[in-house]
Structure 1
Amino acid sequence: MTGDASDDVLVERRGAAGLLTLNRPKALNALDLGMIRRIRAAFDAWSADGGVTRIVLRGTGRAFCAGGDIRRIHDEAKAGGPPAVDAFWREEYALNALIQRSSKPVISLIDGIVMGGGVGLSLHGSHRVAGERYAFAMPEVGIGFFPDVGATYALPRLPGAFGTYLALTGERVGQGDGLAFGLATHAAPAASFDAITEALAAGEPVETVLGRGPAVPPGPVHAERALIDSCFSAESVTAVLARLDAAAAEGSDFAARAAATIRTRSPTSLAVAFAQMRRGGALTFPEAMLTEYRIVTRILQGHDFFEGVRAVLIDKDGAPHWRPDSLEAVTPEMVEAHFAPLPNEPRFG
């Protein structure tokens, strides 16, 4: 999974800014190990360079970054087991941790899709600028995976139960809701991203540059925040669904849609993601990343990830056969096993 990432990640020192441009538009800038290593090398160099006072991330095409190269990860893990892709997780999660503890501002200019690994690159940085096509999601439970790349730490720290809503539904969030819930810190028209980059390269104060953006009203999800907090604060996924069903029976189309979506997801992934959301608020960032490393290792030893990728990305029949196929069949012991320590664990801070 190494490959030659020199064209897939453009690395440029421009004035006071280190500029990283994800340049794999046909793949929606999906990350492979070579790209992660190139980004890491740039961060390491710029962290030690006193002339670089801010780091800027951008993406070409209609995505900032749609995540990791899941199809390639699937194929390599299926052929060689978890060890075949172990370096990818270790190095991606280490990069997430490096960004989170950066002493220099990390500014992501996001117009279009930001999911999975793209969230890991941007959400833990100091500034996230949402363009008008901004579309955030962590849809991993839909392919038998789980919200990783630091979601264990970040999502429980969002307002109310919004993080649990994102984790269990995988639904997309647009510009207004991204700002309202704190996923984005600023807004700007995508057409101004070049000018923003130049102003940052010229050394202008980051807050001054980004503060010129427009005021954007909250989106439709924010209008449902009371319902989200009421339903997604329940004590289990089954209880969340019961509350959503009750709200749907009282006429909430939003609740009905959320419940229907959750019922299409992997029961195991839902139970693991719910446990993440309940535990993550008490973890440090390195602890959260270690937790995710434990979970991903167990996920790749199971069934649902391979079945989910088959159904969504390979055969594209949209009809995954989950095992177990119901929430009731997912025992507490099965969930707990995903969080158990592993031999030879990495450190993320």
Structure 2
Amino acid sequence: MDFGGGDEIRFERLGRAGIVTLTRPQALNALTHAMVKALGKALDAWERDDGVDVVVVEAEGRAFCAGGDILHVYEAGRAGQPPVDFFADEYRLNARIKRFKKPYVALINGIVMGGGVGISFHGSQRVLTENAQFAMPEVGIGFFPDVGGSHLLPDLGGSFGMYLALTGSRIRHGDALWSGLATHTIKAEDQDAFLDRLCATGDPESVLRGFFVPARRETDRPVLEAIARHFAQPSFSDIIASLDRTAPSDEFAAKTLATIRTRSPTSLHVAWRQISAGLTLSMDECMKMEFRILNRMLAGHDFYEGIRAAIIDKGSTPRWRPAGLDDVSVADVDAYFAPLGEQELDL
């Protein structure tokens, strides 16, 4: 089946299922604009198709999807043509997945970050194997946890979502399951049998009952309690102050604070407000808010500087502007959330 996307994404009808496979393993299945548009077309067709009971998204290689194609974003932005249209279509797709009327199963067997989260974790079943690793590391490249991060992360108990947003920390399948990010965990060796059964029945919940293998949480209780204590503070500056007070005598606080201090100060302030606001917003409202932030990020400094340091000059230290956490004003942050007028995201 051809919905576009060339050799970057494959679409198949197998039994009762529509199967989507990301096929850019050499690029860790990073999302391109063509992949986003093709997946959107497939969902439109399969939602109307009475022969398709369930949609499954999977990927080739060792990563599910490591995010968007940020090298392209960097090059386009530096050429004075930031790819706003790519992000607009990506955000529309994220919202489309959230309101998809049929079961949407993400089968994740490897790294899932950024844009990969957007095409998987808004679906009805998020199925992770023991090889899965989840992260929203955007503040480390001067960006923010987009693709619906403001809808997904606030719902995690114990301020775990705020912790993930502000640190960019990676978690494995057990933490994903127990936090509510994943709905099920299965063994990697069972993936083929799981898919075969799902294609035959079209009923993910009944099939998952036979393959579900509970995963133990990787983060121990004292650390979870520390996360809840520090990251539930009523402001970003209060989070920093809480970590700072405890750091001299607590290894977790010291390491966490050191990690946060390497991130973009602007991104941290924006992310804190974004995740806080998302708690009371619908998915569509979150996507419109994120599109406002996105437009300002693409016109700013830190996103391009973060990509330069991480991708262009691999491993170099980014030079954030402003450089200090205390140098970002309330007015600076307000500007990222200001309305876009006629350029608002149309869902």
Among 296, 299, 302, the alignment partner of 2:297 is 299
Aligned partner of 1:33 in structure 2 is 33
Distance, in Å, in 2 between the alignment partners of 1:316 and 1:222 is 35
Distance, in Å, in 2 between the alignment partners of 1:42 and 1:221 is 41
- Call closer, same or farther: CA 1:104–1:346 in 2, change over 3 Å: farther
1:199-234 deviations in whole A, cap 9, x for unaligned?
Answer: 111015211211222121111266522111110111
Q: Give the stretch that moved more between structures: 254-263 or 53-62.
A: 254-263
Among 135, 143, 146, the alignment partner of 1:145 is 143
Amino acid corresponding to residue 244 of structure 1 in structure 2: L
Amino acid corresponding to residue 216 of structure 2 in structure 1: P
TM-score (norm 1): 0.95
Task: Give % identity.
Answer: 48
- Call closer, same or farther: CA 1:161–1:342 in 2, change over 3 Å: same
- Secondary structure of 2:157's partner? coil
- Call closer, same or farther: CA 1:245–1:93 in 2, change over 3 Å: same
Q: Does residue 279 of structure 1 match 2:258?
A: no
Query: How much is the aligned-residue C-alpha RMSD, in angstroms?
Result: 1.3
Aligned partner of 2:163 in structure 1 is 165
TM-score (norm 2): 0.96
Distance, in Å, in 2 between the alignment partners of 1:42 and 1:223 is 45
- Map 1:186-201 onto structure 2 (within 5 A): 186-201=184-199
Aligned partner of 2:43 in structure 1 is 43
C-alpha contact (below 8 Å) 1:177/1:221 kept by paired residues: no
- Call closer, same or farther: CA 1:348–1:257 in 2, change over 3 Å: farther
Structure 1: gaps (5+ residues): none
Structure 2: gaps (5+ residues): none
- Map 1:156-305 onto structure 2 (within 5 A): 156-211=154-209, 212-220=211-219, 224-251=223-250, 253-305=251-303
Deviation (angstroms), 1:158: 1.1
How many residues are aligned here? 343
C-alpha contact (below 8 Å) 1:155/1:277 kept by paired residues: yes
1:110-135 deviations in whole A, cap 9, x for unaligned?
Answer: 01100000000111100011111110
Aligned partner of 1:56 in structure 2 is 56
C-alpha contact (below 8 Å) 1:6/1:38 kept by paired residues: no
Deviation (angstroms), 1:240: 1.1
- Secondary structure of 2:7's partner? coil
C-alpha contact (below 8 Å) 1:181/1:222 kept by paired residues: no
Aligned partner of 2:107 in structure 1 is 109
- Secondary structure of 1:13's partner? strand
C-alpha contact (below 8 Å) 2:127/2:183 kept by paired residues: yes
Amino acid corresponding to residue 209 of structure 1 in structure 2: V
C-alpha contact (below 8 Å) 2:66/2:113 kept by paired residues: yes
Distance, in Å, in 1 between the alignment partners of 2:198 and 2:346 is 29
C-alpha contact (below 8 Å) 1:81/1:301 kept by paired residues: no
- Secondary structure of 2:79's partner? helix
Deviation (angstroms), 1:192: 1.2
Aligned partner of 1:77 in structure 2 is 77
C-alpha contact (below 8 Å) 1:21/1:58 kept by paired residues: yes
Distance, in Å, in 1 between the alignment partners of 2:323 and 2:167 is 17
- Call closer, same or farther: CA 1:157–1:348 in 2, change over 3 Å: farther
